[in-house]
Amino acid sequence: MRYIIQFCRILLFCLLGELLHYFLPFPIPSSIYGMVLLLCALRSNLLKPEQVRDTALFLVGIFPFLFIPAAAGVMEVQDELFDMLLPVFLALFVVTALVMAISGYVTQYIMDRQRRTPHD
């Protein structure tokens, strides 16, 4: 029962996210609104972590599994993918690797520099 109630609390934040997505004009999906709201609720002590933690961590733990049905949908657009094979290949491998390397490297570089010149 504890898990069901925790799940209900999480669903409540899903619903709040959906409401914001419906009423606000920004191109931000309900999942992002919901995540930010849940974070705010935890930060402001409106919600204690124990009230959602077990179920939330279970859901986070099975994340890759949850993507299978959506990912299998790739089979539906095979033809379109093959029509633009070279750009798709470059975008998927080269661009993804580049974005990963640059964003990680920049973050690490700034963190190292801040560590070497402490303000406090």
Partner 1 sequence: MIKELVASSAVWGVLLTISAFSLGSWLHRRLKKAWCNPLLFGCIFVVSFLSIFDISYTEYKASASPVSYLLLPATISLAIPLYEKWELLKRHAAAIIIGIFSGVLTSLGSIWLLAVLLKLSRQQYATLLPKSVTTAIGMDVAAELGGIAALASALIILTGIIGGLIAERICKIAHIKNAVAKGVAIGTSSHAIGTAKAIEMGETEGAMSSLAIVVSGILTALLAPLFAALL
- Which is nearer to partner 1, 23 or 65 (by Cβ)? 65
Q: Which of 3, 5, 24, 104 binds partner 1 (CB under 8 A)?
A: 104
Q: Write the binding mask 18 to 57 for partner 1: x where contact by CB under 8 A, - elsewhere.
A: --------xxxxxxx-xxx-xx--xx-----x--xx-xxx
CA distance 66 to 70: 8
Shortest reach from residue 12's CB to partner 1, in Å: 10
For residue 84, the SS3 value is coil
CB burial class (10 A; 0-12, 13-18, 19+) of residue 78? Answer: exposed
Count Cβ atoms below 10 Å from residue 36 Cβ, excluding itself: 14
Q: Which of 22, 23, 63, 82 binds partner 1 (CB under 8 A)?
A: 63
